[in-house]
Each structure stands twice: as C-alpha cells, then as structure tokens.
Amino acid sequence: MMSLFKKSLNNSFEVMGINERNVSLIYPNNNRKYYKLADDKVLAKEILDENTIPCADTYAVIEKISGIQKGWELVKKYDKLAIKPANGSGGGGIKILKKDSQENWISSGKIIHEEEIFLHMASIIMGQYSLGSDDRVLIEKCIESHSFFHEIYPAGVPDFRVILLNRKPVMSMLRVPTDKSDGKANLHQGGLGIGINMEDGTLTYAYDGKSYFEVHPDNGNQILGKKIPYWNEILEISVQTAASFPLNYLGVDIVIDQELGPLIMEVNVRPGLGIQLANKTGMKKVLKNL
C-alpha cells in the first residue's frame, strides 16, 4: 500500500522532497542567522517565556561538566524530570526520570543511579547528541500526558507537529509511541504518525512506515475519527509561536499536559516531510490550496 501511495503522489507531482522543501520553503523564508533560536531549546524557551506562550517549566540549565553536581542538587527534589540536550534532534538524548516509592530514580522502567545520570549529562555537554558540538543540558518539568492519549496508547508522551507558513497552520499530525519505540513518539524511532483533519481536529489514519491503520497496531485502540481536545487552543498557540520567531516556515511541537493543557515543546526550522505520508497528502497540494 505504501509503495502505491508514494507512486501515485509522485506521479501527480504533489509530494514534496527534501531538496524542494529546502529550496522553496526553508531558504527563502528562514534567514540562517535565526536558525539557532529554534535549534537551541534553551534559547527557544526564552523566547516562549518572553511572549507568555505556555511551555514546560525549566528547572535547570547545565553548561559545563563541572556544573553537573550543582545543577543536580537543584533538581533532585522533584519526583519527575525530563533531561534533554539543548541542541539535540529527533528525540536523541532525552531521558525521563521518575521516582518510585523507595525514592529510586526510574528510567525506561529500570532503576538508574546518580552516577549514570551524571554520565548521561556529561555526554550531552560533550556533544554526543548534537553532532559533536558542545551542548547544554536542559532539565525541565516532566509532562503528564492528557487522558485522551491513554485511550490510544498508555505509555510515553505523544505530541502534535503543526507546520506553519507565514503564521498560517498548513498541516499537522499526532505522533504516538508504540511498543518498539520505547515510549518515544518520534517516527524514526518507531512511533506512529497520525494524520489530522485540520478543519475539525479529528484524527485520520495512523502510519507506521509501512502500513496504515484505523486503530493502534499494538493494542487495537481506536484512532480514526477521535476528536482532539483543545484543538483550537493548539492552533492558537502554534500561531502565537510562529509570530514570536523571525522564521516564516517552521514546525511547532505541542503536548497536552493533564493539568496544564497544551504546551509548546520545540520549534523546528526544518520540519520533516513524513507528515505528508501520515496525512496521505502531498505538501504541494496543501500549499497550492492556500
């Protein structure tokens, strides 16, 4: 089915490839000097905070290996944490930590000791997840996914990707973890990409890189036709985010926290093109109809 779909899209010249995306969307709309404002999660969150756009609370930013111990002392009082490389991409280097009833830290279902946490933060700073460049550790509030997502898949943190051109949302998808993605929603790590009807905020088909599904392939829970909560708010804060950055083409990643509602997680200068397959629609067609 996948090969037939790609063939039909290519034959009608509606699907957009990476080179065409770069030439027609990224280069003319985004000045390279501003890329870092989105690529660096710390800088991006500063802009979001300045513009009172909801995002996860920052607990600490650690810039040097010598600052790891001090930074950890600031955050270990919390029961849940998200540790991220400031300049990472694709979910690489992200660790979610939660305390169990014995005050042990748990990551991916296993106990993780402080020495391992420190080593992970050191590897972030040394650039393991940012193509060898020095990086910073971002430690922030751990999101508790809205109950809507538990109805689809109970683990991990699903997120929405909204692509905007000139501050107008043009395409969106929901990324959901699977059994093989280890709680990650990123498509290249085994997550599902689910298309979204932009008009009414309902889910369409889920795509796993090979096939399309009306239900989650691991548990049979319904996907097709489910109504997304806070859909209007999701679109509103994506537009507010686009208006706050000097970038005219970007992707905005949004989660829904159980208590706080929609929160911006990341801003992307080069949003991937898998969103076309999730929506069974080429980017060219979407832009042509604007």
Q: What is the pLDDT of residues 177-208, one digit of tens each?
A: 999 887 777 777 788 999 999 999 999 999 99
Other C-beta atoms lying within 10 Å of the C-beta of residue 198 = 16
Whole-angstrom Cα distance, residue 7 to residue 282? 12
**pLDDT of 32-49, one tens digit each?**
999 999 999 999 999 999
Contact between residue 254 and residue 236 where contact means Cβ atoms under 8 Å apart? no
Region 68-72 average pLDDT = 97
Q: What is the DSSP string of 206-259?
A: EE-SS-EESB-TTT--B-TTPBPTTHHHHHHHHHHHHHHSS-SEEEEEEEEETT
Contact between residue 59 and residue 81 where contact means Cβ atoms under 8 Å apart? yes
- pTM of the model as a whole: 0.90
The DSSP secondary-structure symbol of 199 reads T
Reply yes or no on whether the pLDDT at 11 is more than 50. no
Question: Percentage of the chain surpassing pLDDT 70?
Answer: 96
The CA-atom distances, in angstroms, between 92 and each of 116, 120, 166, 263 are 17, 12, 29, 20
Residue 196, C-beta contacts closer than 8 angstroms, at least 6 positions apart: 160, 172, 173, 174, 202, 203, 204, 228, 279
The CA-atom distances, in angstroms, between 278 and each of 8, 57, 194 are 15, 30, 5
What tokens does 52 get? 């009172």
The CA-atom distances, in angstroms, between 19 and each of 5, 23, 39, 55, 62 are 20, 6, 20, 32, 36
Whole-angstrom Cα distance, residue 269 to residue 87? 12
**Per-chain mean pLDDT for the chain:** 92
Whole-angstrom Cα distance, residue 193 to residue 203? 10
Count the alpha carbons within 13 Å of 231 in the hemisphere toward its beta carbon.
15
The backbone region for 41, taken as left when phi is positive above 0, alpha when psi lies in -120 to 50, beta otherwise, is alpha
175 forms bridges with which residues in the sheet? 159, 193
**pLDDT of 96-138, one tens digit each?**
999 999 999 999 889 999 999 999 999 999 999 987 788 999 9
Whole-angstrom Cα distance, residue 136 to residue 64? 7
Q: What is the pLDDT of residue 8?
A: 45
